[in-house]
Structure 1
Amino acid sequence: MKRWLVMIGLGLAACSASPQGNWNTLSGEAPLVIAHRGASGELPEHTLEAYTLAMEQGADVIEPDLVVTSDGVLVARHDAYLSTTTDVASHTEFAARRREMFGRDDWWVFDFTAEELRSLRAVQPQEGRDPSYDGQFLIPTFEEILTLVNQFEAECGCVIGIEPEVKHPAEFAAANLDPLPLLNQALLDHGLYAEDAPVVIQSFDAGFLVRMNAVAPVRLAMLYSSPDEEDGNMSGYTLEAVAQFADGLGANKALLLNPDGTSTGLLEQAHALGLEVHVWTVRDDREPLVGETVEDELRALYALGVDAVFTDFPVTALRVRDEM
């Protein structure tokens, strides 16, 4: 298992105002604020503009979800289908590309080259959020995201963490579009293929993480949504088994706190195994898990001892952390 704690020190370097000291995190340092899909509460998710805004706001880490185009290019989308986050439906030249996969009738990234995706524009997929930026921003490649981070770091003299989630790796590998070598090469090209690099690779697919652990030095996080969901139950692995190939647990916040705000014990179990806990997802415009406001929810998670928080609204998470 890699030395996960390096991430804390590097992440906090991204924001000189980040509080340090007596926290209940695994390291005792302040928890990281991870911009979930960028500052996706304000701008269309997974765009260079959303990532830039998050970094400008002071987020310690940005999170791109990665899928693979038909010509083997990693691009940032939350889903392998395109209808909810792009304007593909308005492109008549791609009308015939619509087909059924995995029980859904849609347009699929498997069927588009990276160049073809450049003709699409991002839209706001979340109901109730500002749609005024729809149609303005491109779908970025992972290479463009890494270059953007490099440029921002050079300007700010800081370190920005990157926590990509590899989406549907088994399905892409079955289509001869294995994301693992593509990801490794991208990290290598940007000097991030190292144990102490400010990068964490996350996935719901334990098999992918096991493969990644065997060949790559970077830190890994097992995503965990529910023990009752086939695709989100740690693939049948116990927490002890996960600790053999991963360095952290990316847990659904509902798995950590009971309705009354007390701990379920999962965080303590993970910490005892040396696993950091990165919790998802805190959103200002959704009902809080505990308390009456998103600030109440953040305070409860921070007090519990989470090592990082995924949020669509980095400003709020940073403000509450600073107040604490």
Structure 2
Amino acid sequence: MPRRTPLVIGHRGAPGYRPEHSPSSYALAFASGVDAVEPDVVVSRDGVLVVRHENEISGTTDVADRPEFADRRTAKAVDGELITGWFAEDFTWDELSTLRCRERLPRIRPRSAEQDDQEPLLRLRDLLAMVESASRTREREIGVVLELKHPTFLASAGFDMAALVAAELRAAGWASGRHPLTIESFECTVLDELQSRGISAVYIYLLEASGRPADLVAAHGADAPTYRATARPAGLDGLVGRVDGISVNKRMILAPDKLGRITGPSRVVADAHERGLLVFTWTCRPENRFLVRSVRGPGGPAAHGDYEAEWAVIRDAEVDGVFVDHPDLAVAFFRP
């Protein structure tokens, strides 16, 4: 059954105000009253799970300005896209621990960028300990929504993400269901593998508004189903009993027309709920750059538009969870 109000999930902490995945970003999310936080994890060369949105780290750290790492710059094909930069899997954790966090969107979030180069990167074990500590201090249980990034690509580089994550969760005491844990990925194969390893969690399949999952492209090529097909009733039927729910790009709910006018909520939430599947959505942000055209306001990309108009459609669709960059705004809106 859908929740009366959705879970408010701090997407990479509170990155509307602090560099994403930094310690202060998570601390601010806890203070804002989130139900859970969402760390993304990649892996270091020596197998340490590192909290970063992508394995290419030049956009969110100072690595490009570190002369000792200049020779690590390279190009890789990640899930079919050629990317040039510095990649977490080419560094040991000891090396990564010397880097500092930076704001990914400095022109949109200049106040956050003022915090650049002040905070270290986190390992997954560090973040799990922070969540436990915050839960005790605030006397309320805070959950973790753990996203696994690029498991098929990382497997080709010799890393078994399911094995690494399972071992880390067990070592931290997060594998048995004692803590509120959700695990999500754009690839269902790694979710299957973690379930087979006995990791107790809510399993969520991430669905983009376009494209195909990398694991199925690797297995089936052009015959791999699209994310859009999976979000239709027949595709959702195939997820029943395999995962607990889906997490969709908000455009799949808002359904904007060619003029950028919201026509939703679409049927995707109702269709999933009819099959007993949870539905999360991402990402609720107030800045004009991230809003559909019809609700953008004056002041340029960084200014806040009529984000409440978007969020109201998402709320009225009765989603079970929302990923947010500004947890204070989301708590105020989604918890009347």
TM-score, normalized by length of structure 1?
Answer: 0.87
Shift of 1:243: 2.3
1:139 and 2:121 matched: yes
Percent identity, aligned pairs only, is 32
- Of 4, 20, 34, the residue aligned with 2:9 is 34
* Distance 1:195-1:246 versus aligned 2 partners, 3 A rule: farther
Alpha-carbon deviation of 1:207? 1.4
Instruction: Determine the C-alpha separation between the residues in 1 that align with 2:240 and 2:92.
Output: 37
Residue 267 of structure 2: aligned partner: 265
- Contact 1:196–1:218 under 8 Å retained in 2: no
Matches of 2:33 and 2:311 in 1, distance apart? 17
Aligned partners of 1:214, 1:235: CA distance in 2, in Å? 27
CA distance in 1, matches of 2:46, 2:76: 19
- Shift, 1:68, TM fit: 0.5
For residues 204 and 113 of structure 1, what CA distance do their matches in structure 2 show? 26
Alpha carbons 2:147, 2:185 under 8 Å: kept = yes
Q: Equivalent residue for 2:238? A: 241
Q: How many residues align?
A: 297
Report what 2:322 is aligned to.
309
Q: Which residue in the other structure is 1:182 paired with?
A: 164
Q: Which residue of 2 aligns with 1:322?
A: 335
- For residues 307 and 228 of structure 2, the distance between their equivalents in structure 1, rounded to whole angstroms, comes to 31
1:300 equivalent in structure 2: 313
Matched AA of 1:42? Y
Q: Secondary structure at the match of 2:254?
A: coil
1:118 aligned to 2:97? yes
1:235-256, Cα deviation, whole Å (9 max, x unpaired): 9752111223111101001111
CA, structure 1 residues 235+96, in 2 after alignment: closer, same or farther (shift >3 Å)?
farther
Aligned ranges 1:276-287 → 2 under 5 Å: 276-286=278-288, 287=290
Query: In the superposition, relative to structure 1, how do residues 162 and 115 fare at CA in structure 2: closer, same or farther (>3 Å)?
Result: same
Amino acid at match of 2:65: S
Select the residue among 180, 198, 202 that pairs with 1:219. 202
Match of 2:50 in 1: 75
In 1, are the aligned partners of 2:183 and 2:201 still within 8 Å (CA)?
Answer: yes
Report the CA distance between 1:27 and its aligned residue.
3.5
Q: 2:108: which partner in 1? A: 128
Paired residues for 1:251-262 under 5 Å: 251-259=248-256, 260-262=262-264
TM-score, reference length from structure 2: 0.84
1:109 aligned onto 2:88: yes
What SS is found at the alignment partner of 1:222?
strand
Write the distance in 2 (CA, Å) between the matches of 1:27 and 1:192. Answer: 25
Q: Which runs of 5+ in 1 are unaligned?
A: 1-25
In the TM superposition, residue 196 of structure 1 has moved relative to its aligned partner by: 6.3
- 2:70 alignment partner, SS class: helix
1-structure distance, mates of 2:177, 2:237: 21
State the match for 2:19 in structure 1. Answer: 44
Distance 2:333 2:3 in 1: 17
Question: Which amino acid in the other structure matches residue 250 of structure 1?
Answer: S
- Pair 1:250 & 2:252 matched: no
CA-atom RMSD, angstroms?
A: 1.8
Unaligned residue ranges in structure 2 (runs of 5+) = 215-225, 257-261, 297-305
Q: Is contact 1:281–1:309 with CA below 8 Å preserved after alignment? A: yes
The structural deviation recorded for 1:234 is: 4.0
